[in-house]
Amino acid sequence: MSLPKILLSPPHLSGNEEKYIEQAIKTNWIAPLGPNVDAFERELSQYVGSKGAAVTSSGTAAIHLALELLDVGQGDKVFCSSFTFVASANPILYQGAEPVFIDSEPDTWNMSPHALERALEDAQSDGELPKAVIVVNLYGQSAKMDEIVSLCNQYGVPVVEDAAESLGSEYKGKKSGTFGKFGIYSFNGNKIITTSGGGMLVSDDEEALDRARFLATQAREPALHYEHCHMGYNYRLSNILAGVGRAQLEVLDDRVAARRRIFERYVDALADIPGIELMPELEGTLSNRWLTTFTIDPDVSPVKTDKIIQEMGERNIESRPLWKPLHLQPLFKGARFYPHEEDNVVSEQLFASGLCLPSGSSMSDEDQDRVIDAIKNSVRKQLASFVTS
């Protein structure tokens, strides 16, 4: 009989969810509005330190609303991190706009200010500055926000911070997701806290957030009958799920501590693998370590991470390659891309040599030991076959 499956990042309930769900049911607040929706928005904005928040049915919906609020339309350009999940960039396509992808840099694996600067210079000389820059904080690590925000301010381009994976993380003492005109979070089932599916748009512009709520409820005008002057969306979150979010938010700091502890155990156990580099944590930042990730330097070791993934799969352990850069995705064929340096494409190197490990905050030490054992075994076997071949 095989051992139970170890997942990458399963949901971890706090025990308080039922209390909020029961309240919602007892009071018949089952609609996508109600006391939990209002309270979840208030509590999350207090936690991250933004003036307000608008809850949505997904993180993708929150990005879409941000682009709509920034008036991104047909033919406009939007810059976006290349090294990310497709959800960061799909809303650019929803708007009929054109993505331009920006490479990563080695210190954070996130958007390279160096590449961004060249892209902005070119856009200015073409007379076509982007309508927005979507900067993503992957696996919990904040991008170099000082440099990125200062460049965008210099060119007057608004920043949308995709903090889907970095809720609870910090950059210079300030919560991740609060550095741009808009920030977004995801409460998808695999995130550090979850509502099963859901998202949040945050901003200091409360008028814009009111407009987001309007657009997210089919752009219904204030009238007795149903009056519509604009195209809208059905993007709000149920009051039941917002209740789940409230219970999850209560334990967010514990979840960050648990994932950081898991990361530290991996570091201790795996440090002696030749060529291994765990995802760095930039000085002055605190990563929620949503997923522990590492690369193996191909110049130092012949060990292949896809073989490790395969062997972990055989032991019923889920692991994944790092995100495939969006400029390599067939969906975005022909899109413009700015590498970190002309002959140094950081996101492609990361994709070719890295993987994500099971990192759920409910993972037991025994399960983590199973993961560590599987990795070490694969590395040992690969090195032995290399020596004998």
Ligand X SMILES: Cc1ncc(COP(=O)(O)O)c(C=O)c1O
Which of residues 9, 14, 82, 88 is near ligand X by CB under 6 A?
88
**Smallest distance from the beta carbon of 90 to ligand X, in angstroms?**
9
162 binds ligand X (CB under 6 A): yes
Nearer to ligand X, 84 or 178 (CB): 84
- Residue written as tokens 């494409």? 345
The first and second tokens of residue 254, run together, are 């514990």
The CA-based angle 224-228-229, given to 5 degrees, is: 130
**Smallest distance from the beta carbon of 47 to ligand X, in angstroms?**
18
Stretch that binds ligand X, among 52-60, 103-111, 212-220, 310-318 (CB under 6 A): 52-60
136 binds ligand X (CB under 6 A): yes
Helix count (H) and strand count (E) of the chain? 12, 15
170 binds ligand X (CB under 6 A): no
DSSP 249-278: HTTHHHHHHHHHHHHHHHHHHHTTSTTEEE
Our answer to whether residue 191 is catalytic in this structure is: yes
Is the distance from CB of 158 to CB of 152 less than 8 angstroms? yes
Longest dimension (CA), the chain: 80
Here's the x/- map for ligand X, 299-338, by CB under 6 A: it reads as ----------------------------------------
Q: Which residues contact 69 (CB under 8 A, 6 or more apart)?
A: 182, 208, 211, 212, 215
- Give the CA dihedral 369, 371, 376, 382, nearest 10 degrees: 160
161 binds ligand X (CB under 6 A): no
> What residues numbered 94-123 form the site for ligand X, per CB under 6 A?
none
Quote the CA–CA distance of 243 and 323 in Å, as a whole number. 31
59 binds ligand X (CB under 6 A): yes
Which of residues 17, 165, 281, 311 is near ligand X by CB under 6 A?
165
DSSP 166-208: -TT-EETTEETT-SSSEEEEE--TTSSS--SS-EEEEES-HHH
- 175, 191, 333, 381: the catalytic one is 191
Nearer to ligand X, 111 or 270 (CB): 111
Nearer to ligand X, 199 or 339 (CB): 199
Stretch that binds ligand X, among 84-92, 96-104, 118-126, 296-304 (CB under 6 A): 84-92
Binding stretches for ligand X (CB under 6 A): 58-60, 84-85, 87-88, 136, 162, 164-165, 186, 188, 199
